[in-house]
Amino acid sequence: MFDKDPEEHYIKQGDPGKPTYYIIRRMADTTGLLTRYRMVMGHVRYALSKSWIPVVDMQHYPNPYLAPEKLGKENAWEYYFEQPLRIGLETAYNGENVVLSDGDSVRPYPAHSLKFLEKRNDDLAEWRMLVKLGLMKIKPELMKEIAETRAKLFSKEDRVLGVILRGTDFLVRRLKGRPIPPPIDFARAVVNTKLKEWKCNKFFLATEDKKILQPFQTTFGYRCVILDREYVDYNSVKDKWVTICSIDRENDNYLQGKEYLTQVVLASMCNALVAARCSATTTTMFLNDHFEEIYFFNLGRYETVTLD
């Protein structure tokens, strides 16, 4: 079933009067969960424009959230999200007309430019509509668990600032065109200022990087609230991508995705937001259209000379 042709193509073409199923796949096996989420949004929009039925396949293509022994047996997308139209892979692959998507992204798909995130055009609202229509829905049982976690972390009286910071490979690899994350000292100064300015008594820190977590805990103490999860001690010499950093525990592939998504949903439940620009931030903006205040770090992009 694992088709290595990266181009969009039919694998079955029969009665044109029957539905066409569009299998959304990602050939790169190190792509993170929320980058996949953004790319799936692009493919869903594309499929609907052609009156095709989109179905996400993270079962037959290796990815960081599917244990190797489960390849071809379980769909990692369905660990975290509903299928766009609630139609699964078995139905899709058994259809008379089946198209495999491009193994990369299709244009357009959601960005993380300031113009997009700060809603200076209508793009964010249009993409957010896919979420509101239930086409990019997080599993209800996971959302229930996250809501229960939030109730344990914060009281109803707390005013909480969400803080999203990426480190590890995002910082070390310096890929051309990627937004530059803020230095830790600068990020701490901004968070301190915004806590006072926006009258927040606590903040929720969403990060994967132990090197970011520890300085924030030292500076802010109890005001820095975190998810009880495993944080990555990234080694830039031996670790190429954070998505292939394994933690010695049962079901690690699934748990890393769950913890990542849980942090982002918790950040979306906050009163205000301070964030580096990355897929987690873009996803957070899809999930919350009523932040009281927002601040995005704008330090430019690697190997470019303009700010955006």
Which domains are seen in the chain, by residue range?
Answer: 9-100 (no CATH), 140-296 (3.40.50.11350)
Residue 237: pLDDT band (50, 70, 90) is very low
Tell me which of 110 and 167 has the higher pLDDT: 110
The answer to pTM > 0.85 is yes
Tell me which of 295 and 303 has the higher pLDDT: 295
Q: Which of 19-28, 164-173, 240-249 has the highest mean pLDDT?
A: 19-28
Tell me which of 112 and 211 has the higher pLDDT: 211
Residue 138: pLDDT band (50, 70, 90) is very high
Q: Cβ(18)–Cβ(97) under 8 Å? A: yes
Q: Is the confidence at residue 179, as pLDDT, over 80?
A: no
Residue 227: pLDDT band (50, 70, 90) is very high
Lowest model confidence (mean pLDDT) among 60-64, 137-141, 162-166, 232-236: 232-236
Strand order in the sheet with 224-225: 224-225, 202-206, 160-164, 272-275, 293-296
Full DSSP string of 137-154: PBPHHHHHHHHHHHHHH-
Rounded average pLDDT over 109-126: 82
Q: Is the confidence at residue 156, as pLDDT, over 80?
A: yes
Q: Is the confidence at residue 139, as pLDDT, over 70?
A: yes
E runs forming strands in the chain:
9-12, 20-24, 53-56, 97-100, 160-164, 202-206, 224-225, 272-275, 293-296
Look at residue 119 in the predicted model and tell me its pLDDT.
78
Look at residue 9 in the predicted model and tell me its pLDDT.
96
Mean pLDDT (the chain) is 90
Residue 306: pLDDT band (50, 70, 90) is low
Q: Is the confidence at residue 208, as pLDDT, over 90?
A: no
Buried b (16+ CB within 10 A) or exposed e, 94-103: ebebbbbbbb
Q: Is the confidence at residue 302, as pLDDT, over 70?
A: no
**How many helices and strands (H and E) does the chain possess?**
11, 9
Residues sharing a CB contact under 8 Å with residue 139, sequence separation 6 or more, in sequence order: 78, 79, 80, 81, 82
Q: Cβ(22)–Cβ(54) under 8 Å? A: yes
Rounded average pLDDT over 32-51: 96
Using CA atoms, how far apart are residues 99 and 78, in angstroms rounded to an integer? 20
Using CA atoms, how far apart are residues 204 and 269, in angstroms rounded to an integer? 10
Q: Cβ(169)–Cβ(240) under 8 Å? A: yes
Rounded average pLDDT over 136-152: 98
